Amino acid sequence: MGDGDSSTFGEQFSRLAGIMFIWSTIQQLIPQSVRLFLDKLWSKLFGFYYPYVHITFHEYTKGIYNDAYTSIATYLGSTHSGMQSTYLTGDKSEDSKSLILNLDEGQEIIDEFNGVHFLWRACKEKVEDNSSSRRGIMSGIPQEKNSYVLVFHKKYRDMVTKTYLDHVIQGGKEIELNNRQRKLYTNRSSEDWFWFGGKWNYINFHHPATFDTLAMDPLKKQEIISDLDAFKKGKAYYTKIGKAWKRGYLLHGPPGTGKSTMIAAIANYMEYDIYDLELTSVINNSELKQLLIDTRSKSIIVIEDIDCSIDLTGKRKKKEASKSEEEEMESGQEDKIDKDSKSKLTLSGVLNFIDGIWSACGQERIIIFTTNHVDKLDPALIRRGRMDMHIEMSYCKFEAFKILAKNYLDIDSHPLYGDIRQLLEGNDVRPCDVAENLMPKTNPGDGEQCLRNLIQAINAAKEETRVRGKRGTLAKRLKETFLSKSTFKKSATKV
Ligand SMILES: Nc1ncnc2c1ncn2[C@@H]1O[C@H](COP(=O)(O)OP(=O)(O)OP(=O)(O)O)[C@@H](O)[C@H]1O
C-alpha cells in the first residue's frame, strides 16, 4: 500500500497481486482465529514500528444490524474490486436482480482509491453466545460473527475518515440500488399496518412498456425524456437552489390514451420503484404523512385519477367563500381553518404531501397525478412547482400510429398508410382502440388484414358518430319545438 507513482504503479501492483495470491493460498491453511491473533500480537509487540491502522466493521453491533456492513460487502463484491479475489461467494436475495459476489471467509483484496491502496479482509468467527446474531437465532445453526477489516497506512487516516469510507459506502449503496428488484407498492389500510408490519404491500414490478413502445408525438416524448435525464443528474443542482430533489408530472387526457403506460415507461427508464397511492383508503392527513415517510428514494409516487380519488375540489370550493383562503393555503395555514383536517384527508394534506416540509424526507422522487378531467382539479393542486410538467396524452395521430404499427406488426410503411393518416387526422381515435385493432386476431403474420380492420373500425365509429349526431340534432329540434309549443301554451293560458 502506498502512493501510486505512475511509472512504477503497474509493477508495484503486479508484485502486490503476486504476494496477495501467495498469501491467499497460505491463509487457507492457517485458521482465521490464529491469523487474527498473530495480527494483534504483531501490532502489540511492534506497535511502535507498526505503521498500519485496522478498522473493523461488524455485521452486528450490540445486536443491531450494521447497514455499513452490507454496503461494504456489495462494494467489495462489485466487479472492479471483488473479481481480483480467488474465493468468492454468490448471493441472490429476493430483493436483487442479479447475483451479488462477496468475499469468502479469510479472503483479502486490495482496493485502489486516489492512487492509494487499501487492504480489505473478510473475517468470520464462530461464537457460542446466541444473543447477537439474527441469522443464528432464526436458523439454529452455530453463530457466526462476520466482519470486514480495513487495513491502511496511518498516514492515510484523514483520507479514510473524510473521503474513502464515504466513497465505499455510497458506492455500495449505489450498486445495491441499481441491482435491486424493482417493486410496485400499494398502500394498506391503517388497520393492517400493525398486523402486516408495514404500510405498503408490494409485488415485483415487471412491465414491458418503454419509451420506444409508447405511442405519442416524438417531439413531446423527447421533451419528457430530456426532462427525466436532467432530473436524474440534478442532485447537485437541486442542492444548489435549495429545493428538495423531486419532480411532479401531471398526466391528463381521455381514457385509453396511455397515461398508465407512460408511468410504467418512466419507471423502467429511471429504474425506480412505483408507489401506487390509493387515496380512498387513506383516512386522514396524518396517515398520508406516515405513508410518505415510509417510501424509499428513487421512486415514483402515483395517484391515479386524482379527480375521482377524493372530493378535494369540493372542499376547496366551499372555502372559496373565504376571501383570504388562497393566501392561507399557500402559507400552509389551511389546517387552522379546517376544523376537520386532523380527522380527514383534506386538500391541504395532499398539498403538504407534495411539497410540505415532510416531502423532502426522501431523495430523488417523482410524483405523478393522472386525470381524465384536468379542468375539474383545483388549480392549487396542479400549479407549476407542484406539478412541474403537465403532459397531455391525446388521441392517436399518424406519428403515434406508426409506433404502434411497428410494435404490433413490425412494419414501417404500407400502401394503406395514406388512408390511415387521413382517417386519424380527421377523427379522435384513442391509442387503446388502435392497439386493439392492430392485434392480429387469427393469423399473426397478416399485418395488412390488421390495417384493414383498423380502417374499418375507424369508419364504423365515424358512421356511428354521424348517426348519433343526426339523432342528437333531431332530438334537439323536437325539444325546441316542444318547448316553443309549451311556452306558447303557457303564454296563451296567461292571456
Ligand atoms: N400511447 C400509448 N402507447 C402505447 N400503448 C397504448 C397507448 N395508449 C394506450 N395504449 C394501450 O392501451 C391500453 C390502455 O392504456 P392505458 O391504461 O395506459 O391508458 P390510460 O390513459 O391510463 O387509461 P385510463 O385513463 O382509463 O386509466 C394499454 O394497455 C396499451 O396497450
Is 260 close to ligand 1, i.e. is its CB under 6 Å away?
yes
Question: Is a pLDDT exceeding 90 seen at residue 163?
Answer: yes
Q: Is 259 close to ligand 1, i.e. is its CB under 6 Å away?
A: yes
Decide: helix, strand or coil at residue 6: coil
Cβ–ligand 1 distance for 372 under 6 Å, the answer: yes
Distance 435 CA to ligand 1 centre (A): 9
Distance from residue 264's CA to the centre of ligand 1 (Å): 11
Ligand 1 lined by 432 (C-beta under 6 Å): yes
Best CA proximity match to 455, nearest among 410, 411, 408, 401: 401
User: Which has the closest alpha carbon to 109: 149, 145, 136?
Assistant: 149
Contact 254, 373 (CB under 8 A): no
Q: What is the pLDDT of residue 6?
A: 42
Residue 257 Cβ < 6 Å to ligand 1: yes
Pocket lining: 256 vs ligand 1, CB cutoff 6 Å: yes
Q: What is the DSSP string of 14-48?
A: HHHHHHHHHHHHHHTTS-HHHHHHHHHHHHHHTTT
Cβ-contact 352, 291 below 8 angstroms: no
Take residue 247 and report the three cell numbers written for it: 419532480
Q: In this structure, which residue's CA is closest to atom 17 in ligand 1?
A: 260
- Of 36, 76, 280, residue with least CA distance to 168: 76
ipTM computed for the complex: 0.97
Q: Where is 389: in which H helix or E strand? A: strand 389-392
Residue 74: what are its φ and ψ, rounded to 5°? -65, -45
Instruction: Kindly give the number of the ligand 1 atom that is closest to the alpha carbon of 407.
Output: 4
Rounded to whole angstroms, the Cα distance separating 116 from 157 reads 12
Which residue would you say has higher pLDDT here, 392 or 294? Answer: 392
| 185 touches 202 (CB < 8 A) | yes
Most confident of 87-91, 203-207, 240-244: 203-207
d(CA 300, CA 290): 16
Query: Which H or E run includes 169?
Result: helix 165-179
Pairing mode, strands 365-371 and 246-252: parallel
Cα of 258 vs centre of ligand 1, distance in Å, is: 3
Query: DSSP class of residue 323?
Result: T
Q: How far apart are the CA of 185 and the centre of ligand 1, in A?
A: 20
Residue-wise pLDDT tens digits, 443-470: 766 888 899 999 999 999 888 888 877 6
Interval 383-394: pLDDT, tens: 888 899 999 999
- Average pLDDT value over all residues in the chain: 78
Top pLDDT among 395 and 144 is at: 395
User: Ligand 1 centre from 394 Cα, in Å?
Assistant: 11
Q: Where are the alpha helices (DSSP H) in 279-416?
A: 285-293, 306-309, 312-319, 325-330, 334-337, 347-355, 379-382, 398-409
pLDDT at 51: 79
Rounded to whole angstroms, the Cα distance separating 208 from 188 reads 26
CB 43 within 8 A of CB 56: no
Q: Of the ranges 19-33, 62-76, 185-199, which one carries the lowest mean pLDDT score?
A: 19-33
Our mutation pick for probing the ligand 1 site, out of 403, 432, 434, counting the most ligand atoms within 8 A of Cβ, is: 432
What domains sit in the chain, N to C, each tagged with a CATH number?
Answer: 9-179 (no CATH), 183-392 (3.40.50.300), 398-484 (no CATH)
Report the distance separating Cα 364 and Cα 398, nearest Å: 35
* Residue with cell string 379522435: 428
Distance 432 CA to ligand 1 centre (A): 5
Q: 365 exposed, middle or buried (CB, 10 Å; 0-12, 13-18, 19+)?
A: buried
Measured between alpha carbons, how far is 88 from 73 in angstroms, rounded to an integer? 11
CA of 276 to the centre of ligand 1 (A): 17
| DSSP bridge pairs for 88 | 103
Look at the pTM and tell me if it is higher than 0.90.
Answer: no
How many A from CA of 443 to the centre of ligand 1?
24
Is the distance from the beta carbon of residue 74 to the nearest atom of ligand 1 less than 6 Å? no
| Least confident range of 51-55, 178-182, 208-212, 289-293 | 178-182
pLDDT at 321: 46
pLDDT at 146: 85
- Of 20-34, 183-197, 311-325, where does mean pLDDT reach its minimum? 311-325
350 Cβ below 6 A of ligand 1:
no
Choose which residue among 216, 250, 257 to substitute to test ligand 1 binding: the one with the highest number of ligand atoms within 8 A of its C-beta: 257
CA 379 – ligand 1 centroid, Å: 26
> What are residue 183's DSSP bridge partners?
204
Quick: pLDDT tens for 327-347: 544 554 444 444 555 558 888
Question: Ligand 1 atom closest to Cα of 435?
Answer: 11
| 450 and 439 Cβ atoms separated by less than 8 Å | yes
Three-class secondary structure of residue 464 per DSSP: helix
Instruction: Name the residue with higher pLDDT: 7 or 364.
Output: 364
Q: Residue 359: count other Cβ atoms within 10 Å of its Cβ.
A: 20
- What pLDDT, on a 0 to 100 scale, did the predictor assign at position 371? 94
Among 98-112, 243-257, 290-304, the range scoring the smallest mean pLDDT is 98-112
CB 349 less than 6 A from any atom of ligand 1? no
Least confident of 69-73, 255-259, 415-419: 69-73
Confidence of residue 97 (pLDDT cuts 50, 70, 90): low
User: Looking at residue 258, what is its pLDDT?
Assistant: 95
Give the type of residue at 276: D
Residue ID of nearest Cα to ligand 1 atom 16: 258
pLDDT at 80: 55
Least Cα distance to 120 among 104, 98, 100 occurs for 104
**Cell numbers given for 415:** 400502401
Closest CA to 160 of 201, 116, 193: 116
Atom of ligand 1 nearest to the CA of 216: 1
Distance CA 391, CA 216 (A): 11
Distance 459 CA to ligand 1 centre (A): 22
Most confident of 67-71, 211-215, 306-310: 211-215
Average pLDDT of 103-122?
85
In this structure, are residues 359 and 246 in contact, taking their beta carbons and an 8 Å threshold? yes
Nearest CA to ligand 1 atom 7: 258
Ligand 1 near 374 CB (within 6 A) = no
pLDDT category of residue 407 using cuts at 50, 70 and 90: very high
Residue 129 has pLDDT above 60, yes or no: no
Give the confidence band of 142 by pLDDT, cuts at 50, 70, 90. very low
- What's the pLDDT at 25? 57
Q: How confident is the model at residue 440 (pLDDT cuts 50, 70, 90)?
A: confident
Q: What is the distance in A from the centroid of ligand 1 to the CA of 407? A: 14
User: How far apart are the CA of 244 and the centre of ligand 1, in A?
Assistant: 31
Shortest-distance atom of ligand 1 to CA 215? 3
Summarised one tens digit per residue, pLDDT across range 63-93 is 777 888 888 988 887 755 545 556 666 665 6
State in Å: Cα 213 to ligand 1 middle: 11
- Residue 258 CB less than 6 A away from ligand 1: yes
Comparing 395 with 126, the larger pLDDT belongs to: 395
Nearest residue (by CA) to ligand 1, atom 27, is 255
Question: Which atom from ligand 1 is nearest to the alpha carbon of 251?
Answer: 21
How far apart are the C-alpha atoms of 456 and 330, rounded to whole Å? 52
